[in-house]
Amino acid sequence: MDVLLALDDCAERMQHEDVRLKDIINEKSRINVTDSELDEGVDRLIYNHSLNKTKIREIVNLSTKTFNKRITALEEEEVIGEPIQQGKSSLYNRFDVQVILDHLGHRQYRDDFTSSVISVQNHKGGTGKSTTTKSLATAAALDLNLNARVCILDLDPQGSAGLQAQPKDDDGIYLTIADIALRKYTPSFNEYIENYGLSEQEVVLGAAFNTHLPNLDVYSAFPEDEVFSDIYAELNDEGKAELLQELRNFILPILKEHYDIIFIDTPPQDSPICWSALEAADFLLLPVTPHKLDYLSTKNFITFIKDRIRQLPSGGEQLKMFKCLRVNVDSNSPQVEQTSNMIIRSFVEHLCSNSIKHSELFLAADNLNRSIFDIQKTEARDNKYASSSAYDNAVVSTKAVYEEIMANIKKISGRAN
């Protein structure tokens, strides 16, 4: 009993230590992303993804004369800013690159494909769900030939999508996906409508946070999102079914008007918020580390997930594809090779052919609140983030996985001619 009283006292004192989603987001947006800025005062994260004229011209497939004329016009009209000068090269940041592509009529992903929702799930903690999610999402956003608008929905109350994010403006909307889904049971969502005269669509879209890429946004999670499970438990069967469908029926129709590829990062648990993600997904991606304990945990997850899908309001009718992905693979370990073979035999055609290799670059990227694609090789070397071979292992293997995943996503989302 003394312990319970002590816990009560601690809980009461913690209530007075106000920690808000707004404070966390603002703090993360102020993190110095590298050891220093470049000599020109350009943020390293912006610089890393800047492109020269030749690269942009190759993407839009214009002659040098025509391209330079169009770029000069955009600069004179101040549609784009002045480029970063690196020696004799002019580098354009990704925000200006996106403007250039749009003005030059570069083909967009949605011209050929419908929006897709990829739910990344595994009840085992530490399987690399968040790392996999942000790696694939960043790769998609950086793929200018794809030219897609990408979004991450972070549903893990105890985790983080691990990318620096900031509100779209000074009066940003600080709501999580759980807050929006609980709009009929908690006041947060409707307060923005009543106090600011916003529409439901404006509130949903305004809750997304910008990242360092113009076509990648993030919806953050917060520990108080655990209330989703509490409210779900108090509802009758009809109310439970309705709540599980809020993401699919209310939130996603709004998001799909704005985003082409939507990744959902889920917590390592069998909970209503995960079932909601299953109800909304077109594509289920299961990351698994080829260790025996992870394999056993994944075996249990597969058993449970079958029942959960059958129990969904939709019965899983919207799920079009399921893939297992091996992550954090140490190719030099006989034990890993043995477990990897077990995974291959178990998942057969539902296993991604490619796998994400083990590399210290992932840890370095996590510590910087970046993805591995946000770190240049020279930067990794100079700051001792990873060796050259470890850098290549991470980047090459993850790019191969990205290309395979995107090929599968396109299979299930092509527009009819």
CB within 8 Å of 158: residues ≥ 6 apart: 223, 267
Query: Do residues 361 and 157 make contact, with C-beta atoms less than 8 angstroms apart?
Result: no
Is the same domain home to 257 and 145?
Answer: yes
Q: Whole-angstrom Cα distance, residue 314 to residue 279? A: 7
Q: What is the pLDDT of residues 54-109, one digit of tens each?
A: 999 999 999 999 999 999 999 999 999 989 888 888 899 999 999 999 999 999 99
Q: Report phi then psi at 44, rounded to 5.
A: -55, -40
Average pLDDT over residues 162-189: 82
pLDDT band at 223 (very low <50, low <70, confident <90, very high): confident
Is the same domain home to 159 and 272?
Answer: yes
Highest mean pLDDT: which of 75-89, 197-211, 304-318? 197-211
Residue ending a domain, among 56, 72, 103, is 103
Is the same domain home to 150 and 97?
Answer: no
Q: The tokens 């594809």 sit on which residue? A: 321
To the question of pTM greater than 0.85 for the whole model, the response is yes
Q: Which phi-psi region, left, alpha or beta, contains residue 291 (left: φ > 0; alpha: ψ -120 to 50)?
A: beta
Residue 30 belongs to some domain of the structure: no
Residue ending a domain, among 103, 126, 144, is 103
Decide the pairing of beta strands 150-154 and 84-86: unpaired
Is the same domain home to 198 and 315?
Answer: yes
The neighbouring-strand residues paired with 329 are 357
Calculate the alpha carbon distances from 349 to 23, 112, 123, 371 in Å.
45, 26, 22, 28
pLDDT at residue 5 above 70? no
Count the neighbouring beta carbons within 10 Å of the beta carbon of residue 196: 12
Is the same domain home to 91 and 166?
Answer: no
Residue type, 135: S
Residue 1 belongs to some domain of the structure: no
Which stretches within 17-146 are classed as H helix?
A: 21-29, 44-48, 53-60, 64-76, 94-103, 129-142
pLDDT band at 26 (very low <50, low <70, confident <90, very high): low
CATH number, position 278: 3.40.50.300
Residue 321 belongs to some domain of the structure: yes
Is the same domain home to 319 and 192?
Answer: yes
pLDDT at residue 30 above 70? no
pLDDT at residue 22 above 70? no
Q: Whole-angstrom Cα distance, residue 195 to residue 247? A: 24
Closest CA to 283 of 406, 397, 161, 142: 406
Is the same domain home to 96 and 197?
Answer: no
Is the same domain home to 67 and 114?
Answer: no
Helix (H/G/I), strand (E/B), else coil: 216 = strand
CA 2 to chain centre: 44
Residue 399 belongs to some domain of the structure: yes
Calculate the alpha carbon distances from 33 to 23, 43, 163 in Å.
18, 8, 11
The percentage of residues in the chain with a pLDDT greater than 70, rounded to a whole number, is: 86
Query: Do residues 74 and 100 make contact, with C-beta atoms less than 8 angstroms apart?
Result: yes
Provide the domain count of the chain: 2
Is the same domain home to 138 and 277?
Answer: yes
Closest CA to 23 of 223, 268, 251: 223
pLDDT given for residue 36 in this prediction: 41
Is the same domain home to 58 and 153?
Answer: no
Residue ending a domain, among 103, 118, 152, is 103
Residue 34 belongs to some domain of the structure: no
pLDDT given for residue 159 in this prediction: 64
Taking all residues of the chain, what is their mean pLDDT, rounded to a whole number?
88
Is the same domain home to 97 and 245?
Answer: no
Residue 278 belongs to some domain of the structure: yes
Is the same domain home to 163 and 84?
Answer: no
pLDDT band at 335 (very low <50, low <70, confident <90, very high): very high
pLDDT band at 125 (very low <50, low <70, confident <90, very high): confident
Decide the pairing of beta strands 209-210 and 216-219: antiparallel
Calculate the alpha carbon distances from 415 to 108, 111, 112, 252, 403 in Å.
13, 8, 6, 18, 19
Q: What is the pLDDT of residues 357-407, one digit of tens each?
A: 999 999 999 999 899 999 999 999 999 999 999 999 999 999 999 999 999
Range of the domain at 154: 109-413
